[in-house]
């Protein structure tokens, strides 16, 4: 959640309004996108959510309700004319697929087809959408400027060539850290994320 203030501080945004589009898929990464939108609102950004297939999971419904109660708008469709997205938003949060492999299914495929062509920076959560397949990191994939690995970086993220790579895993229980050998640098102060190396 604190990644946008670190990678894209409010004063540095190119547009007067601090708008961010959050594209959410139907599974776990989409739910994390909803939480991200809520936090962005708390940090004075103006998120808009595109969430075309809403999960029936009660937790996902609760996250959706929380966003609605915070007056975060939901798009009914994603413009296929990417210039409209580039003109309206400072960045796009990719919470479509993460590590889930379903890139060829609608509406995820249509969303990713649009995101491949946006020019504003993309912030991917966990794994850039579509990278979990055999051709991960290929020329047809989205190219995020920022990656936020959740709990621990996934193997496929070795191909990440963007500017910032953050780790969000401060609250992973110590038992799980030991069990799965999760390490990483210390988190500064009260931050929930830590940068993995200097920006490129």
Residue 24 confidence (pLDDT)? 94
Q: How confident is the model at residue 2 (pLDDT cuts 50, 70, 90)?
A: very low
| Predicted TM-score of the model (pTM) | 0.89
Residue 133 confidence (pLDDT)? 58
Distance CA 128, CA 4 (A): 16
Distance CA 170, CA 103 (A): 29
Q: How confident is the model at residue 5 (pLDDT cuts 50, 70, 90)?
A: low
Q: Is 63 among the domain residues? A: yes
Q: DSSP class of residue 185?
A: P
Residue 54 confidence (pLDDT)? 86
Residue 55 confidence (pLDDT)? 86
Summarize pLDDT for 56-101 with one digit per residue, the tens. 899 999 999 999 999 999 999 998 899 999 999 999 999 998 776 5
Tell me if 197 sits within 8 A of 184, measured CB to CB. Answer: no
Q: Which two tokens stand for residue 80?
A: 């296929």
Summarize pLDDT for 119-171 with one digit per residue, the tens. 999 999 998 988 875 454 454 588 999 999 888 888 888 888 888 999 887 77
For residue 137, the domain's CATH number is 3.40.50.10260
**CA separation, residue 25 to residues 50, 97, 105, 125 (Å):** 9, 6, 11, 11
Q: Is 11 among the domain residues? A: no
Q: Is 101 among the domain residues? A: yes
Please give the tally of structural domains in the chain: 1
Q: Is 10 among the domain residues? A: no
Q: Is 30 among the domain residues? A: yes
Q: Is 41 among the domain residues? A: yes
175-178: long-range contacts, CB 8 A cutoff, minimum separation 24: 176/151
Highest-scoring range by mean pLDDT, 46-50, 102-106, 112-116, 174-178? 46-50
Q: For the chain, how many residues are written?
A: 200
Residue 157 confidence (pLDDT)? 83
Residue 9 confidence (pLDDT)? 81
| Domain hosting residue 111, numbered range | 16-196
Q: What is the mean pLDDT of residues 184-192?
A: 80
Q: Is 50 among the domain residues? A: yes
Query: What's the mean pLDDT when you consider all of the chain?
Result: 85
Residue 151 confidence (pLDDT)? 84
Distance CA 29, CA 167 (A): 15
């Amino acid at each position: 959640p604190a990644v946008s203030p670190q990678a894209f501080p409010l004063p540095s945004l190119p547009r007067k309004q601090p708008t961010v589009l959050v594209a959410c898929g139907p599974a776990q990464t989409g739910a994390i996108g909803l939480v991200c939108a809520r936090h962005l609102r708390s940090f004075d950004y103006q998120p808009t959510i595109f969430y075309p297939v809403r999960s029936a999971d009660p937790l996902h419904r609760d996250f959706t309700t929380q966003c609605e109660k915070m007056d975060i708008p939901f798009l009914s469709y994603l413009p296929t004319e990417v210039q409209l997205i580039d003109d309206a938003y400072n960045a796009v949060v990719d919470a479509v697929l993460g590590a889930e492999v379903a890139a060829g299914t609608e509406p995820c495929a249509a969303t990713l087809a649009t995101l491949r062509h946006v020019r504003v920076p993309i912030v991917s959560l966990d794994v850039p959408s579509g990278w979990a397949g055999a051709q991960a990191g290929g020329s047809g994939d989205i190219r995020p400027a920022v990656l936020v690995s959740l709990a621990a970086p996934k193997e496929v993220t070795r191909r990440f060539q963007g500017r910032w790579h953050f780790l969000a895993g401060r609250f992973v229980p110590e038992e799980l850290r030991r069990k799965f050998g999760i390490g990483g640098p210390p988190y500064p102060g009260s931050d929930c994320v830590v940068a993995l190396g200097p920006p490129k």
